[in-house]
Structure 1
Amino acid sequence: MARIWYGWAAALLAVCFFSAAAPAQGPEPMELPTAPVIDGQAYPDCRYEYRERNLARSRVEDIAACIERIDRYYTDVVTPFALGLEADGQTAEEDDAAYRAVEARYRDDREYLSERYCRYAECEDYEPTALSGERDLADGMQQCGEPGDTIYLEGLIGLLVNRARQIDTGTNFTGALIGFACRLEPEERQAAAAASDEVIAREEVGATAAWVSPSREEVSGSSTVTAMNSEPSGATCLDITDVIIIGGEEERATRRMCRAPGESRYVLQG
Protein backbone atom coordinates (compact mmCIF):
# COMPACT_ATOMS: atom_id res chain seq x y z
CA MET A 1 0.00 0.00 0.00
CA ALA A 2 2.60 2.50 1.07
CA ARG A 3 4.65 2.12 -2.09
CA ILE A 4 2.20 4.36 -3.95
CA TRP A 5 3.92 7.20 -2.16
CA TYR A 6 7.04 6.82 -4.25
CA GLY A 7 5.62 9.66 -6.35
CA TRP A 8 7.37 11.81 -3.79
CA ALA A 9 10.43 11.58 -6.03
CA ALA A 10 12.13 14.74 -4.90
CA ALA A 11 11.67 13.94 -1.22
CA LEU A 12 12.85 10.38 -1.66
CA LEU A 13 15.96 11.50 -3.52
CA ALA A 14 16.69 13.84 -0.65
CA VAL A 15 16.17 11.01 1.82
CA CYS A 16 18.54 8.73 -0.06
CA PHE A 17 21.29 11.31 0.31
CA PHE A 18 21.39 10.48 3.99
CA SER A 19 20.21 6.86 3.89
CA ALA A 20 23.11 5.34 5.81
CA ALA A 21 21.90 2.79 8.33
CA ALA A 22 21.26 4.08 11.84
CA PRO A 23 23.61 2.80 14.55
CA ALA A 24 22.25 -0.15 16.45
CA GLN A 25 23.02 1.35 19.85
CA GLY A 26 22.71 4.67 21.60
CA PRO A 27 19.71 6.24 23.36
CA GLU A 28 17.24 8.34 21.41
CA PRO A 29 17.25 11.89 22.85
CA MET A 30 13.83 12.66 24.30
CA GLU A 31 14.23 16.43 23.84
CA LEU A 32 16.49 18.56 21.73
CA PRO A 33 17.89 21.91 22.84
CA THR A 34 16.33 25.14 21.70
CA ALA A 35 16.74 25.57 17.96
CA PRO A 36 20.04 27.38 17.34
CA VAL A 37 20.09 30.71 15.50
CA ILE A 38 22.52 31.93 12.87
CA ASP A 39 22.41 35.52 11.68
CA GLY A 40 19.01 35.95 13.32
CA GLN A 41 17.47 33.00 11.46
CA ALA A 42 16.24 30.13 13.62
CA TYR A 43 16.80 26.55 12.56
CA PRO A 44 13.47 24.88 11.57
CA ASP A 45 12.15 23.04 14.62
CA CYS A 46 9.98 20.51 12.74
CA ARG A 47 11.58 17.17 13.62
CA TYR A 48 8.58 15.74 15.48
CA GLU A 49 5.70 17.50 13.75
CA TYR A 50 4.77 14.31 11.91
CA ARG A 51 3.68 12.73 15.21
CA GLU A 52 0.58 14.92 15.18
CA ARG A 53 -0.72 12.95 12.18
CA ASN A 54 -2.51 9.61 12.48
CA LEU A 55 -2.10 8.11 9.01
CA ALA A 56 1.23 6.72 7.82
CA ARG A 57 0.96 8.46 4.45
CA SER A 58 0.34 11.78 6.24
CA ARG A 59 3.43 11.21 8.36
CA VAL A 60 5.43 10.62 5.17
CA GLU A 61 4.20 13.97 3.85
CA ASP A 62 5.17 15.84 7.04
CA ILE A 63 8.58 14.19 7.25
CA ALA A 64 9.34 15.03 3.61
CA ALA A 65 8.26 18.63 4.23
CA CYS A 66 10.56 18.91 7.27
CA ILE A 67 13.49 17.47 5.31
CA GLU A 68 12.91 20.09 2.64
CA ARG A 69 12.84 22.87 5.24
CA ILE A 70 16.06 21.89 7.01
CA ASP A 71 17.84 21.29 3.70
CA ARG A 72 16.83 24.76 2.52
CA TYR A 73 18.05 26.29 5.79
CA TYR A 74 21.36 24.47 5.45
CA THR A 75 21.83 25.63 1.86
CA ASP A 76 20.64 29.21 2.32
CA VAL A 77 21.96 29.97 5.81
CA VAL A 78 24.48 27.47 7.13
CA THR A 79 26.64 27.07 4.03
CA PRO A 80 27.15 30.83 3.44
CA PHE A 81 27.84 31.26 7.16
CA ALA A 82 30.46 28.50 7.09
CA LEU A 83 32.16 30.11 4.12
CA GLY A 84 32.25 33.37 6.03
CA LEU A 85 33.87 31.65 9.00
CA GLU A 86 36.49 30.14 6.72
CA ALA A 87 37.29 33.51 5.18
CA ASP A 88 37.51 35.28 8.55
CA GLY A 89 40.47 34.02 10.57
CA GLN A 90 39.44 36.20 13.54
CA THR A 91 35.81 34.95 13.84
CA ALA A 92 34.28 35.37 17.27
CA GLU A 93 34.19 32.18 19.33
CA GLU A 94 30.42 32.41 19.84
CA ASP A 95 29.86 32.51 16.07
CA ASP A 96 31.88 29.34 15.63
CA ALA A 97 29.91 27.69 18.47
CA ALA A 98 26.61 28.64 16.82
CA TYR A 99 27.77 27.08 13.57
CA ARG A 100 28.84 23.86 15.28
CA ALA A 101 25.48 23.63 17.07
CA VAL A 102 23.53 24.04 13.84
CA GLU A 103 25.77 21.63 11.96
CA ALA A 104 25.33 18.93 14.62
CA ARG A 105 21.58 19.50 14.84
CA TYR A 106 21.17 19.29 11.07
CA ARG A 107 23.18 16.07 10.73
CA ASP A 108 21.25 14.42 13.56
CA ASP A 109 17.85 15.53 12.23
CA ARG A 110 18.73 14.48 8.69
CA GLU A 111 19.62 10.93 9.75
CA TYR A 112 16.56 10.66 12.01
CA LEU A 113 14.06 11.98 9.47
CA SER A 114 15.51 9.86 6.66
CA GLU A 115 15.12 6.72 8.75
CA ARG A 116 11.57 7.66 9.82
CA TYR A 117 10.61 8.42 6.22
CA CYS A 118 11.61 4.95 5.10
CA ARG A 119 9.89 3.43 8.13
CA TYR A 120 6.51 4.87 7.15
CA ALA A 121 6.97 4.79 3.35
CA GLU A 122 8.19 1.17 3.58
CA CYS A 123 11.30 1.68 1.45
CA GLU A 124 12.32 -1.59 -0.19
CA ASP A 125 15.78 -1.69 1.40
CA TYR A 126 14.63 -0.59 4.87
CA GLU A 127 15.67 -2.89 7.72
CA PRO A 128 14.54 -2.28 11.32
CA THR A 129 17.19 -1.99 14.03
CA ALA A 130 17.14 -1.81 17.81
CA LEU A 131 17.28 1.97 17.54
CA SER A 132 14.41 2.11 15.05
CA GLY A 133 12.36 0.00 17.47
CA GLU A 134 12.93 2.58 20.20
CA ARG A 135 11.85 5.31 17.80
CA ASP A 136 8.73 3.32 16.87
CA LEU A 137 7.61 3.24 20.50
CA ALA A 138 8.40 6.95 20.94
CA ASP A 139 6.21 7.62 17.87
CA GLY A 140 3.29 5.90 19.53
CA MET A 141 3.48 2.51 17.86
CA GLN A 142 2.41 -0.51 19.87
CA GLN A 143 4.57 -3.45 20.78
CA CYS A 144 3.12 -6.80 19.81
CA GLY A 145 4.72 -9.96 21.10
CA GLU A 146 8.49 -9.97 21.16
CA PRO A 147 10.57 -6.80 21.78
CA GLY A 148 11.14 -5.03 18.49
CA ASP A 149 7.87 -6.34 17.01
CA THR A 150 5.98 -3.07 16.68
CA ILE A 151 2.84 -2.18 14.79
CA TYR A 152 1.62 1.22 13.62
CA LEU A 153 -2.08 1.53 14.40
CA GLU A 154 -3.78 3.97 12.10
CA GLY A 155 -7.36 4.75 11.25
CA LEU A 156 -10.08 3.81 13.75
CA ILE A 157 -7.99 1.42 15.87
CA GLY A 158 -5.20 3.94 16.25
CA LEU A 159 -7.66 6.60 17.35
CA LEU A 160 -9.23 4.29 19.91
CA VAL A 161 -5.91 3.30 21.43
CA ASN A 162 -4.71 6.91 21.58
CA ARG A 163 -8.00 7.89 23.21
CA ALA A 164 -7.74 5.05 25.73
CA ARG A 165 -4.29 6.25 26.77
CA GLN A 166 -5.86 9.49 28.00
CA ILE A 167 -8.38 7.77 30.28
CA ASP A 168 -7.36 6.70 33.79
CA THR A 169 -9.85 3.89 34.29
CA GLY A 170 -7.82 1.81 36.70
CA THR A 171 -8.29 -1.16 34.34
CA ASN A 172 -6.38 -2.80 31.53
CA PHE A 173 -8.66 -1.10 29.00
CA THR A 174 -5.80 0.16 26.85
CA GLY A 175 -3.97 -3.14 27.07
CA ALA A 176 -7.04 -5.02 25.89
CA LEU A 177 -7.49 -2.74 22.91
CA ILE A 178 -3.84 -3.03 21.96
CA GLY A 179 -4.04 -6.80 22.29
CA PHE A 180 -6.98 -6.92 19.94
CA ALA A 181 -5.43 -4.43 17.51
CA CYS A 182 -2.26 -6.51 17.31
CA ARG A 183 -4.39 -9.47 16.26
CA LEU A 184 -6.19 -7.64 13.44
CA GLU A 185 -4.92 -7.70 9.89
CA PRO A 186 -4.51 -4.35 8.05
CA GLU A 187 -7.57 -5.01 5.87
CA GLU A 188 -9.61 -5.75 8.99
CA ARG A 189 -8.61 -2.43 10.56
CA GLN A 190 -9.66 -0.73 7.32
CA ALA A 191 -13.04 -2.51 7.42
CA ALA A 192 -13.58 -1.28 10.99
CA ALA A 193 -12.72 2.27 9.93
CA ALA A 194 -15.17 2.08 7.00
CA ALA A 195 -17.98 0.98 9.34
CA SER A 196 -17.21 3.90 11.62
CA ASP A 197 -17.29 6.36 8.74
CA GLU A 198 -20.68 4.99 7.67
CA VAL A 199 -22.44 5.55 11.01
CA ILE A 200 -20.89 8.99 11.44
CA ALA A 201 -22.22 10.02 8.03
CA ARG A 202 -25.74 8.92 9.05
CA GLU A 203 -25.70 11.17 12.16
CA GLU A 204 -28.56 9.45 14.00
CA VAL A 205 -28.89 7.55 17.25
CA GLY A 206 -29.09 3.83 16.62
CA ALA A 207 -27.20 3.94 13.33
CA THR A 208 -25.20 0.70 13.12
CA ALA A 209 -22.72 -0.66 10.61
CA ALA A 210 -21.27 -4.16 10.89
CA TRP A 211 -18.10 -5.41 9.28
CA VAL A 212 -16.56 -8.83 8.73
CA SER A 213 -13.02 -9.83 7.97
CA PRO A 214 -12.39 -10.36 4.26
CA SER A 215 -10.02 -13.24 5.10
CA ARG A 216 -11.01 -14.77 8.47
CA GLU A 217 -14.44 -16.11 9.40
CA GLU A 218 -13.98 -15.65 13.15
CA VAL A 219 -13.24 -11.91 12.99
CA SER A 220 -15.96 -9.24 12.85
CA GLY A 221 -17.21 -6.11 14.54
CA SER A 222 -19.54 -3.14 14.42
CA SER A 223 -19.92 0.56 15.16
CA THR A 224 -23.12 2.03 16.66
CA VAL A 225 -24.15 5.61 17.44
CA THR A 226 -25.45 5.45 21.02
CA ALA A 227 -26.00 9.17 21.64
CA MET A 228 -26.12 12.47 19.80
CA ASN A 229 -26.21 15.94 21.36
CA SER A 230 -25.32 19.57 20.88
CA GLU A 231 -22.66 21.30 22.97
CA PRO A 232 -22.94 24.90 24.30
CA SER A 233 -20.21 25.80 21.80
CA GLY A 234 -22.54 24.79 18.97
CA ALA A 235 -20.66 21.59 18.22
CA THR A 236 -22.56 18.42 17.36
CA CYS A 237 -21.26 15.32 19.15
CA LEU A 238 -21.80 11.60 18.65
CA ASP A 239 -21.07 8.83 21.13
CA ILE A 240 -20.04 5.73 19.20
CA THR A 241 -19.58 2.23 20.59
CA ASP A 242 -17.19 0.02 18.64
CA VAL A 243 -17.16 -3.76 19.00
CA ILE A 244 -14.42 -6.14 17.85
CA ILE A 245 -14.90 -9.92 17.97
CA ILE A 246 -12.02 -12.34 17.41
CA GLY A 247 -12.60 -16.07 17.79
CA GLY A 248 -15.54 -15.54 20.13
CA GLU A 249 -13.71 -12.98 22.29
CA GLU A 250 -15.30 -9.53 22.35
CA GLU A 251 -13.84 -6.12 23.13
CA ARG A 252 -15.79 -2.86 23.05
CA ALA A 253 -15.00 0.80 23.56
CA THR A 254 -16.98 4.06 23.42
CA ARG A 255 -15.61 7.26 21.94
CA ARG A 256 -16.94 10.75 21.34
CA MET A 257 -16.69 12.43 17.95
CA CYS A 258 -17.59 16.12 17.58
CA ARG A 259 -18.13 18.44 14.62
CA ALA A 260 -17.48 22.13 15.25
CA PRO A 261 -19.86 24.77 13.83
CA GLY A 262 -19.14 25.36 10.17
CA GLU A 263 -17.00 22.22 9.88
CA SER A 264 -17.86 19.11 7.87
CA ARG A 265 -15.64 16.60 9.66
CA TYR A 266 -16.09 14.92 13.03
CA VAL A 267 -12.97 14.84 15.22
CA LEU A 268 -12.16 12.44 18.06
CA GLN A 269 -12.33 14.22 21.41
CA GLY A 270 -9.46 13.90 23.90
Structure 2
Amino acid sequence: MQILTDQPERRFGAINWMGLYTLAQRETLRFLSVWTQTLMAPLVTAGLFLMIFNIAIGPGRPDVMGVPFLTFLAPGIMMMTVIQNAFANTSSSMVIAKVQGNIVDTLMPPLSPLEILLGYLAGGVVRGVLIACVVAIALALVLGLVPQHPLIALIFGILGGAFMGALGLFAGIFANKFDQMAAITNFIVTPLAFLSGTFYSVEALPPLLNGISHANPVFYLIDGLRYGMIGVSDSAPLVGFAVCSGATLLVCAVTWQMLRTGYRLKA
Protein backbone atom coordinates (compact mmCIF):
# COMPACT_ATOMS: atom_id res chain seq x y z
CA MET A 1 0.00 0.00 0.00
CA GLN A 2 1.28 3.47 -0.78
CA ILE A 3 1.85 5.45 2.38
CA LEU A 4 1.37 9.16 2.73
CA THR A 5 5.04 10.16 2.58
CA ASP A 6 6.94 11.45 -0.44
CA GLN A 7 3.86 12.07 -2.56
CA PRO A 8 4.41 13.53 -6.03
CA GLU A 9 3.36 17.11 -6.78
CA ARG A 10 -0.40 17.27 -7.12
CA ARG A 11 -2.36 18.82 -9.96
CA PHE A 12 -4.89 20.66 -7.82
CA GLY A 13 -2.66 23.01 -5.82
CA ALA A 14 -1.53 23.09 -2.23
CA ILE A 15 -4.88 21.89 -0.85
CA ASN A 16 -7.20 19.31 -2.35
CA TRP A 17 -10.40 21.16 -1.50
CA MET A 18 -12.65 18.68 -3.27
CA GLY A 19 -11.05 15.72 -1.49
CA LEU A 20 -11.17 17.48 1.87
CA TYR A 21 -14.83 18.40 1.38
CA THR A 22 -15.70 14.86 0.33
CA LEU A 23 -14.03 13.30 3.36
CA ALA A 24 -15.67 15.83 5.70
CA GLN A 25 -19.02 15.16 4.05
CA ARG A 26 -18.58 11.41 4.47
CA GLU A 27 -17.75 11.77 8.16
CA THR A 28 -20.74 14.05 8.68
CA LEU A 29 -23.20 11.86 6.79
CA ARG A 30 -21.97 8.84 8.81
CA PHE A 31 -23.66 10.12 11.95
CA LEU A 32 -26.52 12.02 10.31
CA SER A 33 -27.73 8.81 8.67
CA VAL A 34 -28.37 7.39 12.16
CA TRP A 35 -29.41 10.64 13.83
CA THR A 36 -31.66 8.91 16.35
CA GLN A 37 -28.57 7.22 17.82
CA THR A 38 -26.07 10.05 17.40
CA LEU A 39 -28.18 13.15 18.15
CA MET A 40 -31.33 12.11 20.02
CA ALA A 41 -29.76 9.45 22.26
CA PRO A 42 -27.25 11.93 23.78
CA LEU A 43 -30.14 14.32 24.44
CA VAL A 44 -31.99 11.58 26.33
CA THR A 45 -28.82 10.74 28.28
CA ALA A 46 -28.29 14.38 29.25
CA GLY A 47 -31.93 14.62 30.36
CA LEU A 48 -31.60 11.49 32.47
CA PHE A 49 -28.49 12.86 34.20
CA LEU A 50 -30.30 16.09 35.10
CA MET A 51 -33.44 14.25 36.26
CA ILE A 52 -31.52 11.76 38.41
CA PHE A 53 -29.44 14.46 40.10
CA ASN A 54 -32.54 16.54 40.71
CA ILE A 55 -34.36 13.58 42.29
CA ALA A 56 -31.35 12.36 44.28
CA ILE A 57 -30.28 15.72 45.68
CA GLY A 58 -33.65 17.45 45.78
CA PRO A 59 -34.57 21.11 45.72
CA GLY A 60 -32.93 21.73 49.10
CA ARG A 61 -29.43 21.60 47.61
CA PRO A 62 -27.58 24.89 48.26
CA ASP A 63 -26.58 27.09 45.34
CA VAL A 64 -23.22 26.45 43.68
CA MET A 65 -21.18 29.53 42.76
CA GLY A 66 -24.29 31.63 43.32
CA VAL A 67 -26.60 29.72 40.95
CA PRO A 68 -29.08 26.84 41.48
CA PHE A 69 -27.45 23.42 41.33
CA LEU A 70 -29.30 22.29 38.18
CA THR A 71 -28.33 25.51 36.41
CA PHE A 72 -24.71 24.92 37.43
CA LEU A 73 -24.88 21.27 36.37
CA ALA A 74 -26.47 21.75 32.94
CA PRO A 75 -23.44 23.20 31.05
CA GLY A 76 -21.20 20.46 32.43
CA ILE A 77 -23.60 17.78 31.21
CA MET A 78 -23.76 19.53 27.83
CA MET A 79 -19.97 19.62 27.37
CA MET A 80 -19.59 16.06 28.61
CA THR A 81 -22.06 14.98 25.93
CA VAL A 82 -20.21 16.99 23.27
CA ILE A 83 -16.77 15.59 24.00
CA GLN A 84 -17.91 11.98 24.34
CA ASN A 85 -19.67 12.09 20.97
CA ALA A 86 -16.90 13.96 19.16
CA PHE A 87 -14.45 11.34 20.41
CA ALA A 88 -16.77 8.51 19.37
CA ASN A 89 -17.24 9.93 15.87
CA THR A 90 -13.58 9.97 14.85
CA SER A 91 -12.41 6.95 16.84
CA SER A 92 -15.18 4.63 15.64
CA SER A 93 -14.73 5.70 12.02
CA MET A 94 -11.00 4.98 12.07
CA VAL A 95 -11.19 1.71 14.01
CA ILE A 96 -14.01 0.32 11.87
CA ALA A 97 -12.09 1.22 8.70
CA LYS A 98 -8.98 -0.55 10.01
CA VAL A 99 -10.80 -3.65 11.24
CA GLN A 100 -12.84 -4.01 8.05
CA GLY A 101 -9.80 -3.36 5.88
CA ASN A 102 -11.27 -0.41 3.97
CA ILE A 103 -8.86 2.16 5.42
CA VAL A 104 -7.19 1.95 2.01
CA ASP A 105 -10.15 3.89 0.60
CA THR A 106 -9.03 6.85 2.71
CA LEU A 107 -5.26 6.46 2.29
CA MET A 108 -5.06 5.90 -1.46
CA PRO A 109 -6.81 9.06 -2.76
CA PRO A 110 -4.60 12.15 -3.23
CA LEU A 111 -5.14 13.47 0.27
CA SER A 112 -2.30 14.80 2.41
CA PRO A 113 -2.04 13.86 6.11
CA LEU A 114 -3.30 17.32 7.06
CA GLU A 115 -6.32 16.98 4.77
CA ILE A 116 -7.17 13.58 6.24
CA LEU A 117 -6.84 15.01 9.76
CA LEU A 118 -9.08 17.99 8.96
CA GLY A 119 -11.64 15.81 7.18
CA TYR A 120 -12.05 13.51 10.17
CA LEU A 121 -12.06 16.45 12.59
CA ALA A 122 -14.84 18.14 10.63
CA GLY A 123 -17.17 15.22 11.34
CA GLY A 124 -16.35 15.22 15.06
CA VAL A 125 -16.75 19.00 15.41
CA VAL A 126 -20.04 19.11 13.48
CA ARG A 127 -21.46 16.25 15.56
CA GLY A 128 -20.35 17.89 18.80
CA VAL A 129 -21.76 21.33 17.89
CA LEU A 130 -25.07 19.87 16.67
CA ILE A 131 -25.47 17.93 19.91
CA ALA A 132 -24.65 21.08 21.90
CA CYS A 133 -27.35 22.97 19.97
CA VAL A 134 -29.93 20.23 20.54
CA VAL A 135 -29.17 20.11 24.28
CA ALA A 136 -29.17 23.93 24.51
CA ILE A 137 -32.65 24.08 22.95
CA ALA A 138 -33.90 21.47 25.41
CA LEU A 139 -32.37 23.38 28.36
CA ALA A 140 -34.02 26.59 27.19
CA LEU A 141 -37.40 24.89 26.98
CA VAL A 142 -37.17 22.94 30.25
CA LEU A 143 -35.03 25.12 32.54
CA GLY A 144 -35.37 28.47 30.79
CA LEU A 145 -31.56 28.52 30.49
CA VAL A 146 -30.42 30.90 27.75
CA PRO A 147 -26.68 31.41 27.03
CA GLN A 148 -25.41 34.63 28.60
CA HIS A 149 -22.39 34.74 26.29
CA PRO A 150 -23.40 32.80 23.15
CA LEU A 151 -20.16 33.43 21.24
CA ILE A 152 -18.00 32.15 24.10
CA ALA A 153 -20.26 29.09 24.46
CA LEU A 154 -19.93 28.40 20.72
CA ILE A 155 -16.13 28.81 20.79
CA PHE A 156 -15.72 26.33 23.63
CA GLY A 157 -18.19 23.95 21.99
CA ILE A 158 -16.06 23.97 18.82
CA LEU A 159 -12.87 23.59 20.87
CA GLY A 160 -14.37 20.63 22.73
CA GLY A 161 -15.31 18.92 19.47
CA ALA A 162 -11.89 19.62 17.95
CA PHE A 163 -9.87 18.48 20.97
CA MET A 164 -11.76 15.25 21.55
CA GLY A 165 -12.15 14.63 17.82
CA ALA A 166 -8.37 14.79 17.44
CA LEU A 167 -7.92 12.60 20.52
CA GLY A 168 -10.43 10.13 19.08
CA LEU A 169 -8.56 9.97 15.79
CA PHE A 170 -5.29 9.43 17.69
CA ALA A 171 -6.91 6.61 19.68
CA GLY A 172 -8.44 5.11 16.54
CA ILE A 173 -5.07 5.00 14.81
CA PHE A 174 -3.37 3.57 17.89
CA ALA A 175 -5.98 0.86 18.52
CA ASN A 176 -6.00 -2.22 16.31
CA LYS A 177 -9.03 -3.89 17.88
CA PHE A 178 -12.35 -2.87 19.37
CA ASP A 179 -11.36 -4.01 22.86
CA GLN A 180 -8.30 -1.72 22.76
CA MET A 181 -10.60 1.15 21.80
CA ALA A 182 -12.96 0.25 24.65
CA ALA A 183 -10.03 0.30 27.10
CA ILE A 184 -9.01 3.78 25.97
CA THR A 185 -12.59 5.01 26.32
CA ASN A 186 -13.13 3.46 29.76
CA PHE A 187 -9.78 4.27 31.37
CA ILE A 188 -8.90 7.61 29.76
CA VAL A 189 -11.84 9.41 28.17
CA THR A 190 -14.49 8.68 30.81
CA PRO A 191 -12.28 9.71 33.78
CA LEU A 192 -11.25 12.88 31.94
CA ALA A 193 -14.92 13.76 31.46
CA PHE A 194 -16.19 12.86 34.94
CA LEU A 195 -13.27 14.21 37.02
CA SER A 196 -13.26 17.68 35.51
CA GLY A 197 -15.83 19.72 37.37
CA THR A 198 -18.85 18.40 35.50
CA PHE A 199 -20.85 17.78 38.69
CA TYR A 200 -19.07 20.08 41.15
CA SER A 201 -16.93 23.18 41.51
CA VAL A 202 -13.25 22.24 41.71
CA GLU A 203 -12.80 24.94 44.36
CA ALA A 204 -14.48 22.51 46.77
CA LEU A 205 -11.71 19.92 46.24
CA PRO A 206 -8.63 19.43 48.42
CA PRO A 207 -5.52 21.28 47.13
CA LEU A 208 -3.96 18.19 45.52
CA LEU A 209 -7.11 17.22 43.59
CA ASN A 210 -7.70 20.86 42.72
CA GLY A 211 -4.24 21.05 41.14
CA ILE A 212 -4.79 17.80 39.22
CA SER A 213 -8.12 19.10 37.92
CA HIS A 214 -6.43 22.26 36.62
CA ALA A 215 -4.03 20.07 34.62
CA ASN A 216 -6.98 18.47 32.81
CA PRO A 217 -7.89 20.27 29.54
CA VAL A 218 -11.47 18.97 29.80
CA PHE A 219 -11.88 21.01 32.99
CA TYR A 220 -11.25 24.19 30.99
CA LEU A 221 -13.66 23.08 28.26
CA ILE A 222 -16.44 22.55 30.79
CA ASP A 223 -15.54 25.71 32.70
CA GLY A 224 -15.49 27.80 29.53
CA LEU A 225 -18.84 26.50 28.33
CA ARG A 226 -20.27 27.07 31.81
CA TYR A 227 -19.17 30.70 31.64
CA GLY A 228 -20.73 31.05 28.19
CA MET A 229 -24.01 29.53 29.39
CA ILE A 230 -24.50 30.98 32.91
CA GLY A 231 -21.76 33.61 33.32
CA VAL A 232 -19.83 31.94 36.18
CA SER A 233 -16.65 29.84 36.10
CA ASP A 234 -13.82 28.55 38.27
CA SER A 235 -11.09 30.01 36.04
CA ALA A 236 -10.71 32.89 33.60
CA PRO A 237 -12.21 32.05 30.18
CA LEU A 238 -9.12 33.43 28.45
CA VAL A 239 -6.89 31.01 30.35
CA GLY A 240 -9.22 28.18 29.42
CA PHE A 241 -9.18 29.21 25.76
CA ALA A 242 -5.36 29.26 25.74
CA VAL A 243 -5.05 25.86 27.46
CA CYS A 244 -7.68 24.20 25.26
CA SER A 245 -6.22 25.66 22.06
CA GLY A 246 -2.72 24.51 23.01
CA ALA A 247 -3.93 21.02 23.95
CA THR A 248 -5.88 20.73 20.69
CA LEU A 249 -2.89 21.81 18.59
CA LEU A 250 -0.63 19.36 20.44
CA VAL A 251 -2.95 16.38 19.89
CA CYS A 252 -3.46 17.41 16.25
CA ALA A 253 0.30 17.60 15.71
CA VAL A 254 0.87 14.12 17.15
CA THR A 255 -2.02 12.68 15.12
CA TRP A 256 -0.74 14.39 11.95
CA GLN A 257 2.66 12.78 12.51
CA MET A 258 1.01 9.35 12.87
CA LEU A 259 -0.85 9.88 9.59
CA ARG A 260 2.26 11.18 7.85
CA THR A 261 4.36 8.15 8.79
CA GLY A 262 1.56 5.62 8.34
CA TYR A 263 1.85 4.47 11.95
CA ARG A 264 -0.35 1.36 12.41
CA LEU A 265 -1.99 2.13 9.08
CA LYS A 266 0.25 -0.02 6.88
CA ALA A 267 -1.05 -3.28 5.52
**More strand per residue:** 1
**More helix per residue:** 2
Q: Do both share a fold (TM > 0.5)?
A: no
The one of the two structures with greater contact order (alpha-carbon pairs below 8 A, sep at least 6) is 2
TM-score by length of 1: 0.23
